[in-house]
Chains A and B, each alone.
Chain A
Amino acid sequence: MAAKIQSLDEAPNLPMTGAAYLPGVAYDEMFAPGGEVRGHYAPLQSRMATLGASALADRQKTLERSFLLQGITFTVYGAGSATERIIPTDLFPRIIPAAEWAKIESGLTQRLLALNMFLADIYGEQKILMDGVVPRDLVLGAPSYRREMQNLYVPHKSYANVCGSDLIRGQDGQFAVLEDNLRVPSGVSYMLANRDAAKRTFPGTYREAGVRPVERYPDLLLATLKSMSADWRSDPQVVVLTPGVYNSAYYEHAYLARLMGVPLVEGRDLVVHDNMVYMRTTTGLRRVDVIYRRVDDDFIDPLTFRRDSSLGAAGLFNAYRAGNVVICNAPGTGVADDKAVYAFVPDIIRYYLGEDPILPNIETYLCREKSQLSHVLANLDKLVVKAVGASGGYGMLVGPHASAQERAEFAEALKADPGNYIAQPTIQLSTAPCLVDGRIEPRHVDLRPFILSGEKTIVTPGALTRVALKRGSLVVNSSQGGGSKDTWVLAEENGHSNGNGNGHSNGHKGNGQ
């Protein structure tokens, strides 16, 4: 991979010109292979060209300052003191044209529909296992499979109400699904914060481009959560359950609670009595109907799951089983985003919907199969190997970037427990221009759109674009030094004046405000 990694002197000085920016072998979001700017990037390109290095640096600084003030930070504990760091964020938006988005949207809707049907099936009649489409032991043996969920009524058969899928764009320019996140996906607050910042950084360009708004996410989330509660509860009480202020996503939990206008509770605020869930308020106990939990399955109820957890509420799961409270996402959804089950998602889609998948999977080798294991072991230097149970970029080997010793160590681990690993070809993620140390350089990006599913399924027209800030790195996880940038989904094809660099608006009106 990475046959042609950008070298520093190839990077353009500012103001940037297309000719000096060499994206390398990966698909570049902004430049076509011939060096010309892709049509949907033209308004941004003309703005970038007029801004000098210092103007861009100023804007980047303003952006970072605003994140710091809002408290969009994580804490780094150092010698005797704690300092606040912002999540790195890049000021150039990533732009997706309307037609491409239409395909992503229908593909994600199809996929989540099938995955929810899969969950309803395996926690119900298990037809798909009986028909041998997905191996029985793979599902029932997965640590994320929750026997406790068997035969439980879930409204609208919507197990995963909030989903954040990771898409990548390969060298051929096609989007594919890398991972489904059906447990407690995070990042949506960065999508909203990035949008807020982008509107202030490039207001004219934003208006001219015709960008679809993402600001409705909180109220759509609330409507989705409410649609999960029982009909007879009028005006259901929704709460957000957070592990607390030391959780790395706490900012997001508080942000969503604030924008939905619902209480942000911790486990210690909840009391279960007679299979009803209450929260302790200043005026006594008050009934809770829907819990949007941002706590992992294992920790929500010490009586049912991990006994040492103090993050949940004792008796919560029984109240859920009794139908007196709704937990979103439902416990046990993790089995559908299991890295080994992932390989079967195209079959799952065909099985339930009778359709071909709109968005392809990445080719995946299951090391539990002997023949595939030997292929993986023979090609470790070309593959990415992932532990089935791990996430966040941990427990992962990027073959082409690893040393011979690292590969040898990983090979031993693979042979010892092949069922725990899958492998995929190393995908050259697409690149997008980023401001790095005063230069505009290509960096690899992925795409995390957010899908809501309750009574209806809604794909938010926007996403979190995660950026691997290290040159040449393919790992975008924030725990591994990744950053993010805003993602503009255009309302209509070529919703801008093509290549017009003088800021003349051609009168296109997007939905974006």
Chain B
Amino acid sequence: MMLARVADSLYWLGRYIERAEHLSRLSSVMLNATLDQTDSGVQAVWIALSAVGDSETGKVSPYDAALALVLDRSDPNSVVSSLTMARENARQVRDQITTETWERLNVLYLRVTDPNAEAEFADNSVAFLHDVIADVHLFKGAADATMSHGESWRFMMLGMYLERAQLVSSLLEVCFAPAPGREINDHLALVSLLRMACALEPYLRVYTAEIEPRHILEFLVFDEDFPRSIRFATSRIEEHLATLARHVEAAGRAAPERLAGKLKARLQFADVDELEAGGAGSLLTAVVNECARIHEAIYETFVSYPLELRLPA
């Protein structure tokens, strides 16, 4: 049993944390890739900026783009805004998360909102981003190791995995949905893509250093064990929702766990041949849309349900 408002905040806490980590990683990989003055660097910048919905790439320098992506407080989709929102949500539910978990998030927030943050970023942006990502991992570790894996934790995980499924799908859509004149096949650009998904090392262990678009798709969409594959994320979403929905007995509710189950099954029984035959775009778009429907169903079931249906008899 937990307050509906609290579940809402924990869910968003998970989403914002995941978003902050992803954006930090995109920026870091992008800045690293542009150190070499090659076409692969240009492609990496294009991937990163397209993935965050910035279609007007090339107008500003990669450094300025990264700076804005990380520290622009006026942009609601920056790292600093995401972490501010994550902390704001955590503050709303301060009684629900352990002190260890809270402190990790608070340290992170204080780091990115520090008046010297911009100077530190300018001084060594890769080190700055490395620390931010490491702090996010510490936060996730503290949550895992110190919070009860009950309802609170599950709502947080739910937000994290839904956000992850959507972010990875969008990243792959940018690279593999047919776009005129844009085909990512450069080796180094593909390596950057894997890095953006934090997948390079696990990928190499499965497929060796033969970096192929087909393998990347297979790995990031269908791999069962890699925590950032879409299939892995949807399995977790389904699992958490099935547990959370067990105690909800209202008739006529939206049943997010069934939507998640369907999405999970679809990914379980498809394979990369089918994906290539039908075009990767349609499946990836479907994942993004299904995640949005699951999000709405979560609200209807757990958060903003009509009171008439739940009044005591």
B-binding residues in A (CB < 8 A): 68-71, 81, 84, 245, 250-251, 254-255, 257-258, 263-266, 268-269, 271, 273, 276, 278-287
Contact = CB atoms under 8 A, between A and B. Distances in A.
B205 interface: no
Interface stretch (B100-108, B218-226, B282-290): B100-108
Contacts of B134: none
B92 A281 contact: no
A280 B248 contact: no
A282 B94 contact: no
Contact of B311 (A251, A265, A269, A273): A273
Output the residue of B6, B91, B302 with the most chain A CB within 10 A. B6
Contacts of B248: 282-284
Interface in B95-133: 95-96, 99, 102-103, 106-107, 110, 113
A273 B7 CA distance: 23
6 contacts: A81-B73, A255-B94, A258-B96, A278-B312, A282-B3, A283-B247
Given A71-B102, A258-B94, A271-B307, A280 B110 contact: no
A263 to B, nearest CB: 6
Output the residue of A265, A279, A287 with the most chain B CB within 10 A. A279
Q: Would you list the 3 A-B pairs with minimal beta carbon distance, nearest first?
A: A254-B94, A258-B95, A284-B310
Contacts of A285: 307, 310-312
Given A264-B95, A282-B1, 6 more contacts: A70-B106, A84-B110, A254-B95, A268-B5, A269-B5, A281-B2
Contact of A266 (B5, B88, B302, B307): B5
B209 interface: no
Given A71-B94, A258-B95, A282 B151 contact: yes
A70 B2 contact: no
B68 interface: no
Nearest to A66: B103
A251 B94 CA distance: 8
B4 A281 contact: yes
Interface string B296-313: 000000110101001110
Contacts of A245: 88, 91-92
A286 B1 contact: yes
Given A70-B99, A245-B88, A282-B151, A263 B3 contact: yes
Nearest to B74: A80
A contacts with B: majority SS: mixed
Nearest to B298: A282
Given A69-B107, A263-B6, A271-B307, A283 B1 contact: yes
Contacts of A280: 3-5, 307
A68 B99 contact: no
Given A245-B91, A245-B92, A269-B3, A282 B103 contact: no
Contacts of A265: 3
Nearest to A84: B110
B4 A68 contact: no
A71 B307 CA distance: 35
How many chain B residues sit at the interface, stated as a range, is: 35 or more
Nearest to A284: B310
B244 interface: yes
Contacts of A268: 5
Contacts of A282: 1-4, 7, 151, 155, 244, 247-248, 302-303
B250 interface: yes
B contacts with A: majority SS: helix
Output the residue of B92, B94, B312 with the most chain A CB within 10 A. B94
B173 to A, nearest CB: 32
A263 B95 contact: yes
Output the residue of A245, A276, A281 with the most chain B CB within 10 A. A281
Contacts of B307: 271, 280, 285
Output the residue of A258, A263, A280 with the most chain B CB within 10 A. A280
A498 B290 CA distance: 73
B59 to A, nearest CB: 25
Nearest to A259: B95
Nearest to B5: A269
Nearest to A279: B3
Output the residue of B1, B7, B73, B305 with the most chain A CB within 10 A. B1
A282 B150 CA distance: 13
Nearest to A281: B1
B106 A71 contact: yes
A263 B95 CA distance: 8
Interface in B1-59: 1-7
A278 B3 CA distance: 11
Nearest to B102: A71
Interface string B214-249: 000000000000000000000000000000100111
Contacts of B311: 273, 285
Output the residue of B248, B303, B311 with the most chain A CB within 10 A. B311
Contact of B103 (A69, A283, A287): A69
Contact of B110 (A68, A250, A266, A269): A68
A327 B47 CA distance: 57
Nearest to A239: B3
A69 B92 contact: no
A84 to B, nearest CB: 8
Contacts of A286: 1
Contact of B3 (A68, A255, A281): A281
Given A69-B107, A282-B244, A269 B1 contact: no
Nearest to B4: A280
Contacts of A264: 93-95
A281 B92 CA distance: 15
Output the residue of A81, A258, A266 with the most chain B CB within 10 A. A258
Contacts of B244: 282
B95 A257 contact: yes
A155 to B, nearest CB: 25
Contacts of A269: 3-5
A81 B155 CA distance: 31
Nearest to B1: A281
Contacts of B151: 282
Contacts of B95: 254-255, 257-258, 263-264
Contacts of A284: 248-250, 305, 310
Contacts of B1: 281-283, 286
Nearest to B8: A282
A71 B4 contact: no
A129 to B, nearest CB: 42
A467 B252 CA distance: 59
A195 to B, nearest CB: 15
Contacts of A71: 91, 94, 102, 106
A273 B310 CA distance: 11
A278 B99 CA distance: 28
Contacts of B4: 269, 280-282
Contacts of B3: 263, 265, 269, 279-282
A182 B250 CA distance: 43
B112 to A, nearest CB: 12
